[in-house]
Amino acid sequence: MNVSSPLNGRIPFLDLDFDALDESGAVEAVLSLQRGDTFAYIVTPNVDHLVRLHRRKDDAALWSAYRSATLCLCDSRILLALARRSQLELSVVTGSDLTARLLRAANLSSAAVIGGDSCLVRDLAAKYPHVRFLHHRAPNGILHDAQAQLEVAKFVESCAAGVHFFAIGAPQSELICALIRERGKAAGVALCIGASLEFLTGIKRRAPRWMQRAGLEWLFRLANEPARLWRRYLVEGPAIVRIWWRWRLSFSR
């Protein structure tokens, strides 16, 4: 099977279309989208996201939230390795690295944070003094709280910032971004970036670079948060190999 040429700039893999952008290209795209008068959003699927999607094959809203994203960037070296076994060359653009590059950009003057608490925003403001941060503190359980989702949508629609960091986890970030775009009242660009802001401010530790390059960031996170992450990485995560194998057979046919 040789399908390494992207179709319309996108590479089909595991039933999603990934954008053929490196980190610098992604930064440039975000800084351009922040000036748009319509709402755009970026998803960064990793193994956990793909396993959830394929476990919920019939969840049309969830699949649509990922497939309707303005950009879909690979956030996993494990996915990168599986793609290479299928003769596909994805670019890894992690949400954490993309967020860090954006917050260091001289032409980013304001940003909104959806999620986290006041301490997180205070630490961000101290680390990136050239950025004016706006904040919406989303409640726990927002995935099943339609009113809270609507409040996030209204905050983004009225917000002056051009870049919105969704730090409320998956899949709620992706689903709410899809809702905002469907409402058609917001502008700028949103990034679904998980725990990236917590890594940047030191609330959580990120794996050393050598572990990231070796595809072992999951092991570092498991060692640091075993009670929360053991099931994700040891029980659910390995299903990605079966998902990839089935996709590969289907795609080759």
Contact 163, 112 (CB under 8 A): yes
Residues contacting residue 37 through CB under 8 Å, at least 6 positions apart: 187
In the predicted model, what is the mean pLDDT of residues 231-243?
92
pLDDT per residue as tens digits for the range 163-211? 999 999 999 999 999 999 999 999 999 999 988 999 999 888 888 888 8
Flag whether the pTM goes above 0.85: yes
Distance CA 116, CA 62 (A): 23
Give the confidence band of 116 by pLDDT, cuts at 50, 70, 90: very high
